[in-house]
Amino acid sequence: MRVINFNPGPAGLPLPALERARDELLDFQGSGMSVMEHSHRGKEYEAVHDEAISLLTELLGIPATHQVLFLTGGASQQFAQVPMNFLTPDTGADYLMTGVWSEKAFEEAKYYGKPRVAATTVQPDKHYTRVPRQDELKLDAKAAYVHLTSNNTIYGTQWHTFPDVGNVPLVADMSSDFLWKRIDVSRFGLIYAGAQKNLGPSGVTLVVADKAFIARGRKDIPKFFRYTTHAENNSLYNTPPTFAIYLVRNVLAWMKGLGGLEQMERQNREKAALLYGAIDRNSGFYRAPVERESRSVMNVVFHLPSEELNAAFVAEAKKAGMVGLKGHRTAGGIRVSTYNAVTVENVRTLATFMDHFVKTRG
Ligand SMILES: *Cc1c(COP(=O)(O)O)cnc(C)c1O
């Protein structure tokens, strides 16, 4: 029996994508072996690889100026790889600080250049409850890039409109909201996302890069860490994580079958409305720390009146078949991660549970 999975990452995967993998696991398309046992240079795997790229290109509307890359090392490697490619000891980059992941990205950039905090919404207690407004950004027109975290997985805040950063390339960590809706890719120099939240298993990192931007990257760093090496080799410079890419392909095919990103956005907004609705109509019991305009559609964070009640909520939800609700250790409370694989029905079940919990324990 499968549970209702609200895990923050690795997160639940859509059942049809898993069933397809199960059905093909031992004998991929009559080849007598699993896709993960195929050569990454063989025609069977290459078809999967190219289909994943073309599905992503179609779903997101990626323009010809940009290229999809499949890398490894997670978003955490991108924290280092971005500055390694684009900074020198004398150049700066602007970082928009909105949470733990922005802080980690900023720290890595210090090894290569002079990152600046161009905006921060950190509070005296070190927590974050919103993203900055445009008028709070102190941007440097000479920065090599501006870095932001589009969705703050831990604090449950999200950029709902991306800031205007002029002609400086915008680099975004979209690990926890990549493909939740259509975005204008042409505005970004580089987008990166670990797959394990919204689009697949861990092991592969998706990058969408402006070809002209990565062409300007440093040439005096090891070949493996240059974006251009992977771009020139269609992400087959070395052995890519073939099974993870195969599963991402299954997830992308599932998304397309459901109606693409327009449908994903409708569902995600409906799920968020159900949860924030349950919080707001029981606001004497559930407290949402995030300011309304910054509320995340992907990670909904709230607190019950006491630690005991937070724990009881998690335990009773588990008995009702719902897991993954405990807040991040640095933020506490409850966190509901409602990535694409979580259905509207799943969320409706939780919202009903929330109302019921107030009646019995409130
Ligand atoms: C989970 C997460 C990361 C870390 O990803 P890894 O793939 O584990 O390196 C980075 N940024 C954001 C926004 C995340 O949600």
The CATH number given to whatever domain includes residue 350 is 3.90.1150.10
Alpha-carbon torsion 168, 169, 174, 175, what sign? Answer: negative
Task: Tell me which of 159, 177, 180, 197 is the catalytic residue.
Answer: 197
Q: What is the DSSP letter of 260?
A: H
Q: Which two tokens stand for residue 258?
A: 């459901």
Q: Is 201 inside a domain boundary?
A: yes
- Cβ–Cβ under 8 Å, residues 148 and 163: yes
Spacing, Cα 75 to ligand 1 middle (Å): 5
Atom 3 in ligand 1: which residue has the minimum CA distance? Answer: 75
Q: Which residue, of 222, 257, 292, is where some domain finishes?
A: 257
254 is catalytic: no
pLDDT band of 8, cuts 50, 70, 90: very high
Q: Is 4 inside a domain boundary?
A: no
Atom 2 in ligand 1: which residue has the minimum CA distance? Answer: 175
Atom 7 in ligand 1: which residue has the minimum CA distance? Answer: 74
Q: How far is Cα 296 from Cα 180, in angstroms, rounded to an integer?
A: 11
User: Both 241 and 329 in a single domain?
Assistant: no
pLDDT in tens, 292-302: 999 999 999 99
125 is catalytic: no
Q: How far is Cα 232 from Cα 251, in angstroms, rounded to an integer?
A: 26
User: Both 273 and 235 in a single domain?
Assistant: no
Q: Is 296 inside a domain boundary?
A: yes
User: Both 253 and 267 in a single domain?
Assistant: no
User: Both 26 and 160 in a single domain?
Assistant: yes
Q: Determine whether the shortest distance from the Cβ of 194 to ligand 1 is under 6 A.
A: yes
Q: Which atom of ligand 1 is nearest to the CA of 174?
A: 13
Alpha-carbon torsion 337, 342, 344, 346, what sign? Answer: negative
Q: Which residue, of 257, 274, 298, is where some domain finishes?
A: 257
41 is in an annotated binding site: yes
pLDDT of 362 reads 82
Give the mutation target among 175, 179, 205, 299 for probing the ligand 1 site: most ligand atoms within 8 A of CB: 175
pLDDT in tens, 122-173: 999 999 999 999 999 999 999 999 999 999 999 999 999 999 999 999 999 9
Residue 112 burial class via C-beta count within 10 angstroms: exposed 0-12, middle 13-18, buried 19 and up: buried
pLDDT in tens, 236-287: 999 999 999 999 999 999 999 999 999 999 999 999 999 999 999 999 999 9
Q: Determine whether the shortest distance from the Cβ of 76 to ligand 1 is under 6 A.
A: yes
One-letter amino acid at 103 equals E
Q: Determine whether the shortest distance from the Cβ of 173 to ligand 1 is under 6 A.
A: yes
Q: Is 116 inside a domain boundary?
A: yes
Q: Which atom of ligand 1 is nearest to the CA of 99?
A: 13
Determine the structural domain holding residue 267 and report its residue range. 260-361
Q: How far is Cα 118 from Cα 116, in angstroms, rounded to an integer?
A: 6
Q: Which atom of ligand 1 is nearest to the CA of 9?
A: 1
Q: Is 1 inside a domain boundary?
A: no
Q: Determine whether the shortest distance from the Cβ of 78 to ligand 1 is under 6 A.
A: no
Q: Which residue, of 219, 235, 257, is where some domain finishes?
A: 257
Cβ neighbours around 49 below 10 Å, total: 20
Q: Is 150 inside a domain boundary?
A: yes
3-class state of residue 118 by DSSP: strand
pLDDT in tens, 187-219: 999 999 999 999 999 999 999 999 999 999 999
